[in-house]
Amino acid sequence: MKKLLWIVLLFAIALAFPVSNLFIKRAPDPALRAHVKDPLLEKVVSIFEQKCLDCHSDKAVLPFYAKLPIASSIIAKDIELGTERLNAPLECFGPVPASEAALAKIQRVIELGSMPPDDYRLMHWGSGLTGGDKAALMAWIRATRAKANGAVDARDPIYARALLPLAAPAGLNADKVALGRKLYHDTRLSGDNTLSCASCHDLRKGGTDQAQFSTGIKGQKGGINAPTVFNATHAFVQFWDGRAADLQEQAAGPVANPVEMGAKWEDVPAKLKPDKEYVDAFAKLYPEGITKASITDAIATFEKSLVTVNSRFDQFLLGKADALTADEQDGYRLFLDDGCYKCHVGQAMGGKSFEKFGLHGDYYADRGSRTPADDGRFSVTKKESDRHKFKVPTLRNIALTFPYLHDGSTSDLAKVVKLMGRHQLQADIPDSDVQLMVKFLGTLTGDLDGKPLK
Ligand code: HEC
Ligand code: HEC
Ligand code: HEC
């Protein structure tokens, strides 16, 4: 009898946590609602508040037992990892709408049913996502995604997907585009008149130089692979480490970079002035005439026109079912099933977030060297958690933009897909799946100025 009492008592104590969690609700936090304007987002905030923010906010108010010895270390680790992957108050409920990358990651955990983690659900009864929660989260994801892409109707089935067809750019001033095109190809922007933007971002080479590292003036070699300028307009920041906010700011960089074009901005307008075509074009388009600001604005406008629409994948997304072969469609499915889309997201299939290269395993030790270029975002913020974080590269026209990765270490796409599995997804992707994904990646080559890229 006494034994039975003990069992009942122990059982009651064991149940106390999960049962109490069934009744203890997190109090609504007004700070989270500062930017909430519609009932859908309000619902999403409430779901996060009750079921997610314990681990996805650095300001989470935790229940009393979070201070107990064993619980505290488990909880601290969860919060560290959880906020690193998704700091929800910052990334989802701040002044700007959630990024497409944050949305894709949330969509991924809904699809997998992986959040909240099992051990948490065991201790927090009622914390699992209900069908209604999932529907609300998906509705919010679709609406935010549609808005970011200028769509009129968020119910369009396309917005249920994280990958979107590239849309032709609208509203660009055609004269500025033409002026920018000329400047982009003009070697007078370099110190010794030998290099133009096109030297390293050749429009006939996928917008790159197809070299591991670029050659700047006087034969100097750079230390990081030149990314493509195609679809760069879709990136949330420019450069691997995001040190330029937009294309105009970016364009000022290479001209004055001593190992790239090696010019002085003060000298550039004077070098262009003898060219009557420039003088006339600038006078027509820019009241200030030929300046650093007007030159970089024209180049940036030209770059905004470099959107490579109409790839076979885009045709497929827009409803042409036979635009992809059976193998390519299988590769697309694997790309989704394996979770590549949570980083390679949106119209450009990348460019929407910084992600650590080497979430799992040590890529740099495997490669056998370390260089300053490996620091990534760290070189801008000096925050240790930003080391090895890079702006996710676009996968558009990937068949043409070899060699790959920030270190330009390989032109073998199959090898890169394998590396992505190992280091980004902790998965050993079977070779047959890798081959199918490579076939799929080959369908991402689009058109420029109405002609297929080669
Ligand atoms: C007990 C702590 C905890 C709770 C509660 C929790 N998470 Fe997580 N979450 C984590 C940890 C730890 C990670 C990183 C490891 C991983 O991906 O499994 C993570 C990762 C994630 C990621 C990134 C996944 C990726 O692939 O990059 C998303 C998105 C996410 N959680 C969403 C949620 C949502 C939505 C909820 C609420 C429904 C939630 N989490 C509840 C701990 C938690
Ligand atoms: C000598 C070769 C070279 C020249 C010339 C050059 N670039 Fe680059 N470009 C690079 C390299 C290398 C990077 C990557 C640097 C980094 O991220 O740190 C880059 C990055 C970029 C990016 C960022 C793309 C992204 O995805 O982040 C854009 C846009 C760009 N260049 C446009 C231009 C323009 C416009 C010009 C002419 C004004 C130009 N480049 C001249 C080599 C060059
Ligand atoms: C957690 C985020 C993440 C996931 C998941 C991910 N990638 Fe990446 N991917 C990156 C980052 C970051 C880079 C750039 C790495 C570098 O160069 O340092 C990259 C680079 C690439 C490149 C090379 C692009 C170029 O131009 O250099 C390819 C191809 C690629 N990924 C394909 C995939 C495929 C296929 C999958 C799924 C199997 C995948 N990625 C999953 C973040 C991710």
What does the alpha-carbon distance between residue 32 and residue 173 come to, in Å, rounded to a whole number? 40
Q: Tell me which residue of 363, 413, 401, 421 sits closest to 225, measured CA to CA.
A: 401
Q: In this predicted structure, what is the pLDDT of residue 368?
A: 95
> Separation of 126 CA from ligand 1 center, angstroms?
16
* Range with lowest mean pLDDT among 17-31, 188-202, 252-266, 364-378: 17-31
Q: Are 192 and 370 in contact (CB under 8 A)?
A: no
Give 339's contacts (C-beta < 8 A, 6+ positions apart).
108, 425
CB of 393 within 6 A of ligand 3: the answer is yes
pLDDT higher than threshold 90 for residue 72: no
Residue nearest ligand 2's atom 15 by CA: 239
Q: How confident is the model at residue 67 (pLDDT cuts 50, 70, 90)?
A: confident
Q: Are 388 and 376 in contact (CB under 8 A)?
A: yes
pLDDT higher than threshold 80 for residue 221: yes
CB of 295 within 6 A of ligand 3: the answer is no
Q: In this predicted structure, what is the pLDDT of residue 313?
A: 98
CB atoms within 10 A of CB 123: 15
Q: Which two tokens stand for residue 129?
A: 């996502």
CB of 430 within 6 A of ligand 1: the answer is no
Q: Which ligand is nearest to the CA of 405?
A: 3
Q: Which residues of 403-421 are buried (b: 16+ CB within 10 A; e: fewer)?
A: bbbbbbbeeebeebbbbbb
Share of the chain above pLDDT 90, in %: 85
Q: Are 224 and 240 in contact (CB under 8 A)?
A: yes
CB of 45 within 6 A of ligand 1: the answer is no
pLDDT higher than threshold 80 for residue 17: no
CB of 425 within 6 A of ligand 3: the answer is yes
Phi, psi of 308 (to 5 degrees): -95, 80
CB of 254 within 6 A of ligand 2: the answer is yes
CB of 263 within 6 A of ligand 2: the answer is no
Give 347's contacts (C-beta < 8 A, 6+ positions apart).
149, 164, 165, 166, 167, 231, 234
Q: Are 334 and 436 in contact (CB under 8 A)?
A: yes
What does the alpha-carbon distance between residue 277 and residue 62 come to, in Å, rounded to a whole number? 67
CB atoms within 10 A of CB 144: 22
Average pLDDT over residues 32-51: 94
Q: Are 39 and 136 in contact (CB under 8 A)?
A: no
Q: Are 208 and 226 in contact (CB under 8 A)?
A: yes
What does the alpha-carbon distance between residue 355 and residue 374 come to, in Å, rounded to a whole number? 13
| Identity of residue 40 | L
What does the alpha-carbon distance between residue 434 and residue 283 come to, in Å, rounded to a whole number? 53
> Separation of 341 CA from ligand 3 center, angstroms?
10
Which ligand 2 atom minimizes the distance to the CA of 215? 1
Q: Are 309 and 447 in contact (CB under 8 A)?
A: yes
Q: Mean pLDDT across the chain, nearest whole number? A: 94
pLDDT top residue among 29 and 451: 451
CB of 341 within 6 A of ligand 3: the answer is no
Q: How confident is the model at residue 18 (pLDDT cuts 50, 70, 90)?
A: low
Among 208, 237, 239, 391, the mutation site with the greatest number of ligand 2 atoms within 8 A of its Cβ is: 239
> Separation of 254 CA from ligand 2 center, angstroms?
6
CB of 377 within 6 A of ligand 2: the answer is no
Q: Which residues of 70-81 are buried (b: 16+ CB within 10 A; e: fewer)?
A: eeeeebeebbee
> Separation of 22 CA from ligand 1 center, angstroms?
20
> Separation of 25 CA from ligand 3 center, angstroms?
39
* Range with lowest mean pLDDT among 77-81, 177-181, 272-276: 77-81
Share of the chain above pLDDT 70, in %: 96
Q: Which two tokens stand for residue 87?
A: 């700091």
Q: Are 230 and 448 in contact (CB under 8 A)?
A: yes
> Separation of 157 CA from ligand 3 center, angstroms?
26
Q: Are 433 and 330 in contact (CB under 8 A)?
A: no
| Identity of residue 143 | A
Q: In this predicted structure, what is the pLDDT of residue 264?
A: 97
CB of 239 within 6 A of ligand 2: the answer is yes
Q: How confident is the model at residue 381 (pLDDT cuts 50, 70, 90)?
A: very high
Average pLDDT over residues 215-235: 97
* Range with lowest mean pLDDT among 2-16, 323-337, 414-428: 2-16
Note every long-range contact of 104-108, with CB atoms under 8 Å and residues 24 or more positions apart, other chains counting.
Answer: 104/162, 104/341, 104/342, 104/343, 104/345, 105/342, 106/137, 106/141, 107/138, 107/141, 107/162, 107/342, 108/339, 108/341, 108/342
> Separation of 344 CA from ligand 3 center, angstroms?
7
What does the alpha-carbon distance between residue 55 and residue 62 come to, in Å, rounded to a whole number? 9
Which ligand 1 atom minimizes the distance to the CA of 51? 37
Q: Are 254 and 195 in contact (CB under 8 A)?
A: no
CB of 134 within 6 A of ligand 1: the answer is no
Q: In this predicted structure, what is the pLDDT of residue 308?
A: 98
> Separation of 417 CA from ligand 3 center, angstroms?
8
Give 100's contacts (C-beta < 8 A, 6+ positions apart).
145, 148, 162, 345, 346, 352
Q: How confident is the model at residue 69 (pLDDT cuts 50, 70, 90)?
A: confident
Q: Tell me which residue of 97, 281, 92 sits closest to 173, measured CA to CA.
A: 281
Residue nearest ligand 3's atom 41 by CA: 340
Q: Which ligand is nearest to the CA of 189?
A: 2
> Separation of 317 CA from ligand 1 center, angstroms?
29
Q: Which ligand is nearest to the CA of 119?
A: 1
Omega of the bond leading into 403 within 30 degrees of 0 (cis): yes
pLDDT digits (tens, 9 = 90+) for 113-152: 999 999 999 988 899 999 999 999 999 999 999 999 999 8
Q: In this predicted structure, what is the pLDDT of residue 5?
A: 77
Among 200, 203, 217, the mutation site with the greatest number of ligand 2 atoms within 8 A of its Cβ is: 200
What does the alpha-carbon distance between residue 177 and residue 262 come to, in Å, rounded to a whole number? 25
pLDDT higher than threshold 70 for residue 14: no
Q: Which two tokens stand for residue 208?
A: 């790159």
CB of 116 within 6 A of ligand 1: the answer is yes
Q: In this predicted structure, what is the pLDDT of residue 1?
A: 67
CB atoms within 10 A of CB 138: 17
Q: CA torsion, points 259, 228, 435, 390, in degrees to nearest 10?
A: 70
CB of 300 within 6 A of ligand 2: the answer is no
What does the alpha-carbon distance between residue 366 and residue 271 come to, in Å, rounded to a whole number? 48
Q: Which two tokens stand for residue 326?
A: 């059976």
CB atoms within 10 A of CB 157: 8
pLDDT higher than threshold 90 for residue 243: yes
Which ligand 2 atom minimizes the distance to the CA of 213? 12
Omega of the bond leading into 169 within 30 degrees of 0 (cis): no
> Separation of 446 CA from ligand 3 center, angstroms?
20
